[in-house]
Chain A
Amino acid sequence: MTTLDLTPAPGAAPLPRMVLAQTGAEIRAMLRNGEQLLLTMIIPVLLLVGFSAAPLVDVGGGPRVNFIAPGVLALAVMSTAFTGQAIATGFERRYGVLKRLGATPLSRTGLMLAKTLAVVAVEIIQVAVISGVALALGWRPAGSPLAALPLILLGTAAFSGLGLLMAGTLRAEATLAGANLVYLVLLGCGGVIFPMSKFPDSVQPVLELLPISALTGGLRSVLTEGSGLPVSAAAILAGWAVVSLFITSRTFRWE
Chain B
Amino acid sequence: MESPAVEIIDLVKRYGRTTAIDGLSLSATRGAVTAILGPNGAGKTSTVEICEGFRRADGGIVKVLGLDPSRPELRARVGVMLQAGGVPPAMRCGEWLRLMSRFHAHPLDPAALLERLGLTGHVRTPYRRLSGGQQQRVSLASAVIGRPELVFLDEPTAGLDPQARHACWELVDDLRACGVSVVLTTHHMDEAEKLSDRVVIIDHGKVVAEGTPSSLTGAERQLRFRARPGLILDELLTALPSGSAAKESPSGHYIIEGQVGPELLATVTAWCAAEGVTADDLSIERRTLEDVFLELTGRELR
Contacts and interface: CB of A to CB of B under 8 A. Distances in A.
B232 interface: no
B219 interface: no
B2 to A, nearest CB: 13
Interface stretch (A25-33, A49-57, A159-167): A25-33
Interface string B105-134: 110100011011000000000000000000
Contacts of A33: 90
B11 to A, nearest CB: 19
Interface stretch (A8-16, A64-72, A205-213, A241-249): A8-16
B104 A100 contact: no
A25 B84 CA distance: 21
B77 A96 contact: no
Interface in B123-159: 142, 144, 146-149
B76 A11 contact: yes
B80 A103 contact: yes
A33 B105 CA distance: 31
Q: Is the interface of B mostly helix, strand, loop or mixed?
A: loop
Interface stretch (A104-112, A122-130, A133-141): A104-112
Interface string A91-120: 010011101101111110000000000000
Given A95-B88, A100-B86, A10 B103 contact: no
Contacts of A105: 72, 75-76, 103-104, 146
Size class of the B contact interface (CB-based, 8 Å): 35 or more
A103 B103 contact: no
A53 to B, nearest CB: 35
B76 A12 contact: yes
A11 B101 CA distance: 11
Nearest to B98: A21
Interface of B: 52-54, 72, 75-78, 80, 82, 84-91, 95, 99-100, 102-106, 108, 112-113, 115-116, 142, 144, 146-149, 174-175, 177-180
B77 A97 contact: no
Given A2-B115, A22-B99, A96-B84, A9 B75 contact: no
A99 B104 contact: no
Contact of B103 (A5, A32, A106, A255): A106
B164 to A, nearest CB: 15
Nearest to B167: A1
17 contacts: A4-B112, A7-B147, A8-B179, A8-B180, A10-B105, A10-B149, A12-B103, A13-B102, A21-B102, A29-B88, A95-B85, A95-B86, A95-B89, A100-B87, A100-B142, A104-B75, A105-B104
